[in-house]
Amino acid sequence: MQITFLGTSSMVPTKDRNHSAVFLSYGTEGILFDCGEGTQRQFKIAGISLTKTTKILITHWHGDHVLGLPGLMQTLSSLEYNQKLNIYGPKGTKKRIEAMFEAFIFDKKLDFEVHEVKEGKFFENEDFVLEAHQLEHGIEILGFKFVEKDKRKVDMKKAEKLGLDEGPSIGKLQSGHSIEHKGKKIMPDDVSYSEKGKIVAYVTDTLLCDGCYKTAKDADILICEATYSSKLAEKSEEYSHMTAKQAGQLASQANVKKLILTHFSARYKDTQELEEDARNVFNNTKCAYDLMKLDL
């Protein structure tokens, strides 16, 4: 699993920070959280093929989170993109996508499907689950959570002691089934162990609310907005945003392992003040920067 921060600015981009977008690469899946203006160019600079995108998760329909969507979809339609693009967003997303296609002329067709997401789990396969939780920003807005399922790993040293080699028997044990070997029943726990899946949470453009805690709970990585420092707490509340300190409080109270701050106001030339603000309450904090990659 790898996370790439394609844009870390808030409403106004700077020469160093693009509009909001975060890409999570997991096996054959490429999940894009938000799609601010310039996102497809950031893909190119980051060295990530745009065709790796399989899902786009839109938190809300403010421009700095979606203005890159028509351009990205138009480019995908012109490439050898041989799959269906699934777009998930809050109530009203279907209507807005339809309006987008009325506003722009797309020369080629793209196979895509739009899903309006409600509270709770909205996607599941054998590897992971996606959840959404309602946030508070004065409009329909969602926080997103990627939950990798636990995986069973085989300890080959233990397996070899029992006379087992790589093959179908190992596969059955890894999938949680017992086997018969040389007249002896071997249980999965005899040669394997369960490895807990990783959790990535994405919270942006919101007041600190119950949905933030639901989204962030037990996350290995919490990607959270820090539009302002706590010195501008009143301004932050006025515009329904969180401060860096509140992001730190959220991480601390939600049992988060690591906090990555993003969505910075253009007023901050560097992010040191914001990182220190969060570190005062949650030490394992880092400010993201455009094109930063994080391996889990």
**Active-site amino acid positions:** 64
226 neighbors 243 (Cβ within 8 angstroms): yes
In whole angstroms, give the CA distance from residue 149 to residue 136.
29
